[in-house]
Structure 1
Amino acid sequence: MEFCPTCGNMLQFELPYLDQPSRFFCSVCPYVCHVNNRVKIKRKQRLVKKEIEPIISLDDMKNAPKTEATCPYCGHGEAAFKEFQTRSADEPTTLFYRCLKDICQKQWRED
């Protein structure tokens, strides 16, 4: 993938036509880059899986409000919760829970 050095949009590739070389061109501005040789891959970048950060960390559990919510995993009746606005402002908030049972500590959400 190549990007336009002028405006930053992704360049489009055009196959050769008659005696003209193939080229990359920008659909927004007049930038054109003629390709005389074969395009080589500069480098391959391996994707690294990131760790999922918990919504309610162990430090947050000490200060987070608690409620009587039944854990869907272990059935424990108490959980810490946090409320976030994950959608637009006219939609209801999303509640994120974390089980307070020491063995479980699973997280779930209610939209």
Structure 2
Amino acid sequence: MSVLAQLATVVVDCADPAALAAFYQKATGWELGYSDEDFASLDAGGAGAGLAFVRVEGHQAQTWPEGNKHLHLDFTVSDLAGAVGELLALGASKPDFQPGEGQWVVLTDPQGNPFCLIPATAAN
């Protein structure tokens, strides 16, 4: 089968694109590609699809574990506990509800979007 399309960027609706891009830039080490008050993007440096954030007026944050979830991101990490601690220090939150029986950790970014941290060994 021939490839018709390849994922280039995951775009996240949010209230403050620059602030959310800054959080994920610190979390991933990716380079800021562009930023203004309505849009910001991060370049994964050839490691796959990038991330972008677009301002949506009246944006409602996702709720976890129930409610208006739209999507979430999964990130692999080499040190799960260490990554959780560092991301909490950057402004992430850790919801009480944690599915997966300790196989991964769910956090929310500063604007309420859930994302998961998965040990790199579990992702292989």
Please give the range of the TM-score, normalised by the shorter of the 2 chains: under 0.3
Compute the TM-score of the two structures, normalised by the length of structure 2. Answer: 0.24
Q: Which protein has greater RCO, CA pairs closer than 8 Å, 6+ apart?
A: 2
Which is richer in helix?
2
Larger-Rg structure: 1
Q: TM-score, normalised by structure 1?
A: 0.25
